Structure 1
Amino acid sequence: MNRFCRVVSRLVWLMALPFGLAQAAGVGDVLNTPAMQAPQAQHAVLLDLARAQARLVAVGERGIVLLSDDNGSSWRQAEVPVSVTLTAVQFVNAHTGWAVGHAGVVLASQDGGEHWAVQLDGSHAAQLELQAAKQRMSAAIDQDAAAARVQTAERFVSDGPDKPFLALKFVDAKHGLIVGAYGLAFQTDDGGRTWQSLMGQIDNPMGSHLYAIAGQGEHWFVAGEQGYLARSDNGGQSFTPLESPYAGSFFALQIRDDGTLLAAGLKGNAFVSNDLGQSFQPAPVPMPISFSDAIRTDDGQLLLVNQGGAMFRTSNQPGALLKPYGKPLAMPVSSVVQAADGSLVLAGFTGLTRVSPPTAIASE
């Protein structure tokens, strides 16, 4: 049985359930089946982490959502209405958050992750894209491209809800963007009550899978497979491709407080831009292991983790752009979050691990 893990899925996602469950009937089953309570859920495949102020939230396989109110020392499982694998989660305050995942599912919580409601699934998303493609076709200058978009959307509808969302970015309780496989991209301006396809506003003619989003003010970025990078200068309403510094996939994307953009991906490749993605310089690290996640720590620096459990950190000191941070963990890591007490919590194939941060995080 292949399992979807963000560590691997951001390279090529491996379905969390047997191949063929992507058939409409099978996906319909997991979309309508609540996640089972698992006694050892803390050791399940967990793919992403978020903070809801002091609370930590973890999501992963089979719809598992875990909550911690003691900085990751202990966890309990929340009630979730679906049993599809969840790939990404974000909270904008102590109460309001979203999670996305397989079958094009979008879940929302208004009580800090205790309970969740379905806002969108892959079938509805495909219909929204088809409607948007047809509306744009009548006014399109390039009719061939418009017709190709309609054909692609029609295929999405006939495929059923078999495509995952892989990343999300909300700036507040109303406005957010979600992206995923085959260039899926949808936005909301009302907290997810309604969604609009953004696929026509992201210049992505090959339908590259989109793995990461980062934003600061009006400048937003998306990154994906085969070196795909794009920037928005209007708060995520439309995106234009950037010249990529390499041809491999990007799985981690983050912006430092001073505007420094970090993009990282396959085989330890990481790049930094100080001019909104117009140019990049390499940020070499001593091991060729793919990166899986990047976060902005409470002091405004960036922390990068790879699939081997090693961590790297940006520094204000001259010289190296990234430097090793702490001791590598003997576990594959898919996500990292800094808890309210400064400790780090990491998620991956073997579940959750909490580590005390090196003194560097407080001294730099």
Structure 2
Amino acid sequence: MNRISQASAVLLALYLPFATSECLAGPTTVGAPLSTPAMPVPAAQKSVLIDLARAGTRLVAVGERGMVLLSDDNGQSWRQASVPVSVSLTAVQFVDAQKGWAVGHAGVVLATRDGGEHWTLQLDGARAAQLELDAAKADQATAANPDDALVRVQNAERLVADGADKPFLALEFIDAQHGLIVGAYGLALWTADGGATWQSLMGHIANPNGMHLYAISHQGPRWFLAGEQGYLARSDDDAVSFSQLESPYEGSFFTLQSRADGALLVGGLRGNAFISNDGGASFQHLSVPMPISFNDATRLAGGQVLLVNQGGALFLSAEQTGAALQPLGKPLGKPVSSVIEAADGSLIVAGFTGLQRIAQPSTAASE
């Protein structure tokens, strides 16, 4: 397994604000947060929130120590949901107004069937590691390269020995049954039954150095992964297997998003962003006026892609803008980890200082 690079450590520090106590601790210290429900927090909307999602018209935010917040008025007010763990949550997604998943520290996968009101634990890091070890041993007997197969088994054994300490960092469900989750050291698991069971995909993804995987995107049967040190991969068989792509950049990528016209955007360290109009076969650099790392991107109702950087600056990519990103409003001047469009067209951002609603994205921002 590779060591976490300096650039990746910066991202982990941003996305995983309690990595020292939850993710990087040994197995003896992770158990308590896995069995302790998230505590109610006063003014929770001002806490560290890491990711955002839409559940129909409802907004859902996830963050530190198992916090899940819900808003039914387009982000004007928030309330805390019931969550069975107190590990920090790094990503959340819904496939409709009721069914959703969240992932986070200690290999946690949570599911909800009531729009985020209540959550159940589907998977933890110890079980995820065991799934990879079982898969590695099963594939070893028929592997074309015995040496590579042995290395995979040894890496899986180390995952098991480490315990539930590896974070998941991204997820992508295409419906209520089928979804992919990825994370640190190349962790990747697939479900075809809504999370009732999981299958390790680590042996089917060309990621020999175990790069951390930070983002997922899909266009029909074609899937994309992005991660540290410029790692990019594509699947042409509906996530059965992934081949590594030639990368336009050696720094880490933290976000992937597709425009309505099919163009794929990828963004990462130092404000580097690229666009591909041929399914990742080639990439064109997008001109950005500031070298600040991109953390997240979302597709707006109009089909454009909106990217946000660590300084809270928003940039729009539309079909007619070519190889440039257009600034949207003034930078917020604070770290932002996620952005999403509410049902009324306002924008919601999440970060270290909590949640903020941008009522008129083109002109002004209001708390």
Distance 1:6 1:299 in 2: 35
1:90 maps to a residue whose letter is: Q
Whether 1:116 and 2:119 are equivalent positions in the alignment is yes
Corresponding residue for 2:318? 315
- Mapped to 1, the partners of 2:97 and 2:159 lie a distance apart of 35
Change (3 A) 1:21 1:286: closer
Cα contact 1:315–1:321 (8 A) shared by 2? no
Aligned mate of 2:156, from 148, 153, 156? 153
- Cα displacement (A) at 1:198: 0.4
Match of 2:186 in 1: 183
Kept in 1: contact 2:60–2:69 (CA 8 A)? yes
Could you say if the C-alpha distance between residues 268 and 43 of structure 1 is closer, same or farther in structure 2, counting changes exceeding 3 Å?
same
Deviation at 1:327, TM superposition (A): 1.3
- Match for residue 87 of structure 2? 84
The reply on whether 1:50 has 2:42 as its aligned counterpart is no
Deviations 1:318-348 (A, max 9, x none): 5443111111112210000100000000000
CA contact (8 A) 2:311 2:333 kept: yes
Give the partner amino acid of 1:268.
Answer: G
Per the alignment, residue 268 of structure 2 pairs with: 265
Establish whether residue 239 from structure 1 lines up as the match of residue 242 from structure 2. Answer: yes
Q: What is the DSSP-based 3-state SS (H/G/I as helix, E as strand, rest coil) of the residue aligned with 2:337?
A: strand
- State, as a whole percentage, how many aligned pairs show the same letter: 66
Query: Are 1:331 and 2:296 an aligned pair?
Result: no
Instruction: State yes or no: 1:285 paired with 2:285.
Output: no
2:72 and 2:193 mapped to 1: Cα distance?
29
**Aligned residue in 2 for 1:127:** 130
CA distance in 2 between partners of 1:179 and 1:10 (Å): 18
Matches of 1:60 and 1:34, distance apart in 2: 14
Contact 2:93 2:172 in 1 (8 A): yes
Query: Is 2:308 aligned against 1:305?
Result: yes
Given that 1:10 and 1:292 are in contact with CA atoms closer than 8 Å, whether structure 2 keeps it comes out as no
| Distance change (3 Å), C-alpha of 1:215 and 1:6 | farther
State yes or no: 1:37 paired with 2:40. yes
- Count of residues paired in the alignment: 356
> Counterpart in 1 of 2:65?
62
> Which deviations, in whole Å up to 9, do the C-alpha atoms of 1:41-99 show, x marking residues without a partner?
11111000000010000000000000000000000000000000000000000000000
Q: Please provide the CA RMSD for this pair.
A: 1.8
The secondary structure found in structure 1 opposite 2:320 is: coil
TM-score, structure 2 as length reference: 0.94
The letter for the 2-side match of 1:71 is N
Residue aligned with 1:93, SS: coil
Q: Distance in 1 between matches of 2:181 and 2:267?
A: 19
Secondary structure of 1:356's counterpart equals strand
- CA gap 1:295/1:21 in 2 versus in 1, 3 angstroms: closer
Tell me how far apart the structure 1 counterparts of residues 321 and 75 of structure 2 sit (CA, whole Å).
34
Q: In terms of mean alpha carbon deviation, does 7-16 or 22-31 score higher?
A: 7-16
1:139 is displaced (CA, Å) by 0.2
Q: Which runs of 5+ in 1 are unaligned?
A: none
8 Å CA contact 1:7, 1:307 repeated in 2:
no
Matched, 1:28 2:31: yes
Shift of 1:12: 8.4
Tell me which stretches of 4 or more aligned residues in structure 1 moved more than 6 Å: none
Q: 2:288·2:324 contact (CA, 8 Å) conserved in 1? A: no
Aligned mates of 2:177, 2:264 — CA distance in 1: 25
Q: Which secondary structure does the structure 1 equivalent of 2:121 belong to?
A: strand
Where in structure 2 are the equivalents of 1:195-210 lying within 5 Å? 195-210=198-213
Aligned position for 1:340: 343
Aligned equivalents of 1:255 and 1:316: distance in 2?
A: 11
Give the whole-Å Cα distance in 2 for the aligned partners of 1:226 and 1:50. 27
CA distance in 2, matches of 1:184, 1:258: 30
Are 1:143 and 2:146 matched, yes or no? yes
CA deviation string 1:6-44 (max 9, x = no partner): 983287855445379722121111000000000121111
Kindly provide the amino acid, as one letter, of the partner of residue 257 in structure 1: A
